[in-house]
Amino acid sequence: MEVLYSSTRNSDKKITASQAILKGLAEDGGLFVPDHIPSLTCSMRDLADKSYQETAYEVMKLFLTDFTQAELKKCIERAYDSKFDTDVIAPIVEAEGTYYLELFHGATIAFKDMALSILPHLMITSAKKNHVENEIVILTATSGDTGKAALAGFADVEGTKIIVFYPKNGVSPIQEKQMVTQKGANTFVVGIHGNFDDAQAGVKELFSDKELAQELADAGLQFSSANSINIGRLVPQVVYYVYAYAKLLKEDKLSDGERMNVVVPTGNFGNILAAFYAKQMGVPIGKLICASNENKVLYDFFTTGRYDRNREFVLTSSPSMDILISSNLERLLYRVAGEDAEQNAALMESLARTGAYEITEQMREQLVDFYGNYASEKETANRISSMYENTGYVLDTHTAVASAVYQKYVEDTKDKTVTVIASTASPFKFTRNVMNAIDGKYDTMSDFELVDKLSAISNVDVPTAVAQLKTAPVVHDHVCDKTEMKAIVKHFLGVDA
Ligand SMILES: *Cc1c(COP(=O)(O)O)cnc(C)c1O
């Protein structure tokens, strides 16, 4: 059955999956959502014997119904190949009786690679299918990980250019180095004076700038997005929840139909929304545990029904979760509002105007599968050190937030359901904070000394992505104010004449 996509703010107009991928964001500022969540057509038992690539095909074909089998399989093959340092793509590691789904074995050692290694292929296939002659300009705001993963995915991809904005003082040194050393004549990286929300707001504004869109069109260009607002990011993320369940079933860690809880360290709400979609597709998922850092706007939302971004923005050791406006939450709201675009649009209008909104009691009742909690900086650091002491396994700061929240959940509920924690980054990406958590004595070491030390104490080889950074030259040094974003984009694209 065909799946069509419409905006969360107006469900009248429906478009195909490939059109939604090309557009990224709807013209009314809403996000594209599927008109229904398809059910899996393969049993979990049958999926248990499939490879990651085969599982990806079984899941993605149900959402991307206007892609041919050959098109989709080609995209999958090109994405999940030797860029990943393991054939299984997303290995599961057991520690303290819980399963860590390691989503960081791709080119940039964070979970964004799971979707961004395939998005460029989905995008150029979509362009061909829709006879788009324009060059596609990917415009992206990043809290650190999306930027590098998108740059790596789109670098030198014919028919595309990519522009990335990141908060100049809001990413880790390794994250920044990864971005500013990105090769590829079609890549452009800019630090902005502001935080991630500023970058994201600026990008959204450029997307809805009709005058700019016309100027680009005249020059044979059009924008698209690699942010998790693009449905082409979300669909590939559903895959690994299906895969994780199937693998645990195969290894007899789960029995047929038994429930599995999922814990996700959350920022923009894309990853956990993918888990929600997996549940809707029929994967026996129990609770969806949403873990926040000290920017605990989602915890407050799940406990009170009120979303309120009017608070101080905290820079934490898990910068990819330093977000006060979780864009993808809008997709969940739309669903729990009974796919009522008008009601959703009113909430978003309130968010834009006052920075807050409150959902109805009816909507809240539909969020029973979600549990929200948060971890302080201290709890996060303690979690890294206690895990290391107990098992020798080293968690990154984001995964440690999730692990700490999971402990709180078990304490609160005594729920012993089999649990998978989404492990979203390699500890080598946040080395200083990770090593400081393990022992304060490491703080005097340089970033690259710390990397070698981490490798020694964890018995894990330094990932290639980090080893290469030591010698990589800096090729991007642009910095601008948030008010200058439009001018710098036009300049880069050569439409400022
Ligand atoms: C992006 C990111 C997150 C947050 O994921 P969302 O889909 O934005 O909720 C968590 N951890 C890491 C390491 C990330 O890069």
Q: What are phi and psi of 320, to 5 degrees?
A: -70, -5
Tokens 């090309």 belong to which residue? 22
Q: What are phi and psi of 328, to 5 degrees?
A: -70, -10
Atom of ligand 1 nearest to the CA of 268: 8
Q: How far is the CA of 268 from the centre of ligand 1 (A)?
A: 7
pLDDT value of residue 10: 93
Which SS3 state, helix, strand or coil, does residue 77 take? Answer: helix
Q: Which domain holds residue 355?
A: 92-109+232-460
E strand or H helix at 242: helix 231-250
Chain-centroid distance, C-alpha 390: 29
Q: Is residue 169 part of a domain?
A: no
Query: Beta strand 160-167 with 135-141: parallel, antiparallel or unpaired?
Result: parallel
pLDDT value of residue 103: 98
pLDDT value of residue 222: 94
Catalytic status, residue 112 = yes
Atom of ligand 1 nearest to the CA of 399: 11
Atom of ligand 1 nearest to the CA of 266: 9
Q: Is residue 413 part of a domain?
A: yes
Distance CA 457, CA 11 (A): 53
Q: Is residue 136 part of a domain?
A: no
CA dist 229 to 90, 124, 145, 204, 412, Å? Answer: 23, 18, 15, 10, 33
Q: How far is the CA of 445 from the centre of ligand 1 (A)?
A: 27
Provide the domain count of the chain: 1
Q: Is residue 315 part of a domain?
A: yes
- CATH number of the domain enclosing 285: 3.40.50.1100
Q: How far is the CA of 112 from the centre of ligand 1 (A)?
A: 7
pLDDT value of residue 448: 87
Q: What are phi and psi of 96, to 5 degrees?
A: 55, 35
Pick the residue whose CA is nearest to atom 14 on ligand 1: 320
pLDDT value of residue 373: 98
Q: Is residue 4 part of a domain?
A: no
DSSP calls for 190-218: EEEES-HHHHHHHHHHHHT-HHHHHHHHH
Mutate to test the pocket of ligand 1, among 108, 148, 266, 317 (most ligand atoms within 8 A of CB): 266
Q: How far is the CA of 207 from the centre of ligand 1 (A)?
A: 22
Distance CA 65, CA 3 (A): 6
User: Which residue ranges have their beta carbon within 6 Å of ligand 1?
Assistant: 110-112, 145, 228, 265-271, 320-321, 398, 424-425
Q: Is residue 398 part of a domain?
A: yes
E strand or H helix at 311: none
Which SS3 state, helix, strand or coil, does residue 143 take? Answer: coil
Bridge-partner residues for 425, per DSSP? 110
Q: Tokens for 129?
A: 């299918």
CA dist 305 to 61, 149, 175, 275, Å? Answer: 35, 33, 34, 21
The angle subtended at Cα 252 by Cα 247 and Cα 255, nearest 5°, is: 95
Distance CA 105, CA 89 (A): 7
- The pTM score is 0.94
- Mean pLDDT, the chain cut into blocks of 10 residues (497 residues total): 95 96 89 97 97 98 98 97 96 98 95 95 95 94 89 92 94 90 95 92 91 96 88 97 98 98 97 98 98 98 96 93 92 93 94 95 96 98 98 98 98 98 96 96 92 96 90 94 95 89
Q: Is residue 152 part of a domain?
A: no
Q: Is residue 67 part of a domain?
A: no
Q: How far is the CA of 328 from the centre of ligand 1 (A)?
A: 12
**DSSP code at position 84:** S
Distance CA 323, CA 160 (A): 28
Residue ranges of alpha helices (H) inside 361-446 are 361-365, 377-391, 397-413, 431-438
Of the candidates 23, 50, 112, 279, the residue annotated as catalytic is 112
Mutate to test the pocket of ligand 1, among 103, 320, 384 (most ligand atoms within 8 A of CB): 320
